Amino acid sequence: MDWQKELIDFYGQENLQEFVAGQGNEWTGENDFQTGRVAMNLDGEWRTAFIADGAPDLNYMTAPMPMPDGLEDEYGRGQVGGTIIGIPDGSPHPAEAWLLVSWMASDTDTLVYMANIVRNVPTTFAALESPDLDVTPQFQTFLDMFADPLSHYKPTTRSVTATRRDRVGPGGLAGRQGHRPRGGAPGGRRRGEQPAGRGADLRGRT
């Protein structure tokens, strides 16, 4: 929270509000990262599918989130959530639905198919090691994070503050290579300039 407050003070609240107001829809081709409005993005593995579909010429790479001081040896781990699939309340055929859900969540060919089509990380080791898995360098980052023994799912908590904090925890970073984003940083700051006392070891863009 201190870092977020410092960031707002650095750019200025009005400048940030104006910048955010102009953002594109995350789930369309107007996504800010895909159009070049932002130079780096914290996102999930599915973004590689959106980029392949909507911005196939985009020159970018992905990387795990950097680790805090003292935990550098754990670089590469991240938050993993797995395939999300469920049965709606009131389903008229819950037993049959459960058979379908359990099959889709554990069948190797199905998981590989979904990984190749929508770029969800397959959630069994058999699927992860399948020779039929279509892997790009950008997608491989997320496969490596899933396989890392230190990767974990976010802890269950009733604390709203803790939940929000965890949502910006370990994840994947995407960064354009050899690209200067359009529009500049809000408030006229020089690109790469950071608030006093804060560094940005965000990897991906070169």
Q: What is the pLDDT of residues 117-170, one digit of tens each?
A: 999 898 888 999 999 999 999 999 999 999 899 998 877 666 555 544 444 334
Percent of the chain clearing pLDDT 90 (strictly above): 61
pLDDT at 172: 56
What 3-state DSSP class applies to 62?
A: strand
pLDDT recorded at residue 33: 95
Find out whether 43 and 171 touch, Cβ atoms under 8 Å: yes
Using a cut of 0.85, tell me whether the model's pTM lies above it.
Answer: no
Residues 6+ apart with CB under 8 A from 20: none
Q: End-to-end CA distance of the chain, in Å?
A: 28
For residue 122, the 8-state DSSP code is: P
Write out pLDDT tens, residues 143-152: 999 989 999 8
Mean pLDDT, the chain cut into blocks of 10 residues (206 residues total): 91 94 93 94 93 94 94 92 83 95 92 92 90 95 92 71 44 50 41 33 34
Cα–Cα–Cα angle for 65, 39, 46, nearest 5°?
A: 60
Q: Alpha helices of 148-181 — where are they, by DSSP H?
A: 160-167
Phi-psi category of 184—alpha, beta or left, where left has phi over 0 and alpha has psi -120 to 50? Answer: left
User: CB–CB of 24/31 below 8 Å?
Assistant: yes
